[in-house]
Structure 1
Amino acid sequence: MGTGNKVEMVIAVCAVVTSALAVFIAWDQGRVMRAQQHGSVYPVLQLNGYTSTDPEVREIGVVFRNSGVGPALIESVDVFRGDEQVESLIPYRDALPAGYSFSWTSMVGRAIAPGETLDALSFSWPVGQMSREEMEAAAEDWGGLTMKICYCSVFKRCWNVEGLAQNSPAERVKSCKRSEQDIIEGLSTVKRAQDLPNQELE
């Protein structure tokens, strides 16, 4: 092989190496940019039960809070007591003392903005209609439940998180399956008989 051919070979090898390095650098920069994009919209969903013994009101409920920097898109809300899934919260609602005011927020399919806190559900009584002992019993009953939430970022990165009886940090999952029904919204569909107006009982 002549000197000229050797030089051409070296130049060709250098060109291939340079091209490979350029491709690698472009890929790495793209990876870093994607990580930055995901990090800029990273949601951190938390859920907690609460009780309130205000001088005028007794209250129990559940709140959702997004402590992250991007919206949390809620795909499913499942409730468990121990290892057994709870299909409806209506029996727990019906076990509460009568005379409460009830508010709820549909959660499945909802986007919670960064820093936003939502009352998923809340029961409240005038203080004279619920004793402290009744409130402690109700809080213990509802406190035995665990809510498991699957939520995603706007880039479809998804997590599972647990709250109430058991609390756990968010765990990354491949995807979320959208719930067909919202167990919290289901609380509004059936009223117990003692809470219905007289004409609805006829």
Structure 2
Amino acid sequence: MANNSAREWAVDNAYFDSTPDYWLNSNRETRDQHIVRNKQIENTVSAHLTQVLSCRLREGYTIKSVNYTPNDNQIEVRLLLPYRHNVNIEYNLTSTLPSKSPPADGEESAPECQYEVIVEGNYNFIHDVTCAIKKPIKSAYRSATINQFWTTIKSLTESDKHEIHLHNFTRNAWSRNIPESIKNGVPLFFMPPNSSDAVISSKNIVHSQFAQYWKWMLGVN
């Protein structure tokens, strides 16, 4: 739908089963299931909208709707990940679009996106994964399901950390300018005997900054 007078627009993904016809034609068992929504995370990430969006799409999320508010120059993108039967992970991303004109002081402000993660599903599943009073779960299947769910939620935060780190490559010159000592053959790291942890070979501050950035890359699986 679109509002031409205010130039505000929204686009919904027609392939989601949320139309009245779906509910009229669905069976009684589907209609009678009580779906609960529970917010898990609300946070910000220091990255551009396109970077976060591309990361989520690669992880399997699908765009559910897009809303643009011209007065605030804000765009909201709602994404959905079908996690399992009757359980979805919704990722709502909000960001201010960058101005087309360059800033007056010549310095671009750091990008920032607000996001929230909402889980929607049947009551039993939501209760299992969010109940504060934990009772012993005898079912190995239920325990595995809960652990897998929290691993999925945690992976979102980990992905954002990786994304911010990679984004620093373009923002900070010290992460991409190779120190002269490295160009002259000095190794960036060395491996101590009986250790699997790489150690920075020089204490020079320029060398150290460059090495710290790339040392993190060594641990990326």
TM-score, length-scaled by structure 2: 0.23
Select the structure that is richer in strand. Answer: 1
TM-score, length-scaled by structure 1: 0.25
